[in-house]
Amino acid sequence: MLNRSHVFRIALIGPESTGKTTLCEKLATHYNTIFNPEYSRNFVESLERKYSESDVIHCFEKQISLESELLKRANKILFADTEAIMSKIWLTDVFKSSSSLIEQNIREHSYDLYLLTSPDLAFEKDPVRENPHRREFFFNQYENELRSRNLNYQIIEGVGLERMENAIKAIDLLLKIN
């Protein structure tokens, strides 16, 4: 039986330009709830310098803080347009560094479901995207992290409506079995 007081936390995770934000917005509308937008996108875009390791940590902390606030207003589901695993991989890849704070968050605050977006969409260039030719690499990094931690995830593929339908199927299954 579904616990009505429980808010399901669903994270969208995946390489750049794989439709996470669009999917997050559409899923929140479909399920009549809200989503936590990706804080780092606007933050990095607003910088007048190259981002730093401390900026990555700041983005992670702000993302988690915003999510805590939004959880109070969510209608049964809260979608997150990024999460700690993405911060971990970002920190590791760019700065060859790690954060015990991020590691602890991954261990202690896993999501009910991770939607891992496939790099099967055409890459759309924008000012903050850095890795158009490394999307398969990052997809594999995220999947390895999810798998090694035995986290509940589904790969979301397809273009347009098909992608949305695949995400809805995964979410509906989660809701049905809980």
Q: What pLDDT is recorded for position 131?
A: 84
Question: CA 142, CA 127: separation in Å to the nearest integer?
Answer: 23
Domain positions in the chain are 8-177
Q: What pLDDT is recorded for position 54?
A: 95
Question: CA 81, CA 45: separation in Å to the nearest integer?
Answer: 16
**Which of the following CATH numbers is that of domain 8-177: 3.40.30.10, 3.10.129.10, 3.40.50.300, 3.30.420.240?**
3.40.50.300
Q: What pLDDT is recorded for position 52?
A: 95
Contact 162, 26 (CB under 8 A): no
- pTM across the whole model: 0.93
Q: What pLDDT is recorded for position 125?
A: 85
Q: How many helices (H) and strands (E) does the chain have?
A: 7, 5
Q: What is the pLDDT along the chain (178 residues), one digit of tens a residue?
A: 344 468 999 999 999 999 999 999 999 999 999 999 999 988 998 998 999 999 999 999 999 999 999 999 999 999 999 999 999 999 999 999 999 999 999 999 999 999 999 999 989 888 788 888 999 999 999 999 999 999 999 999 999 999 999 999 999 999 998 7
Strand blocks (E) in 81-158: 113-117, 153-156
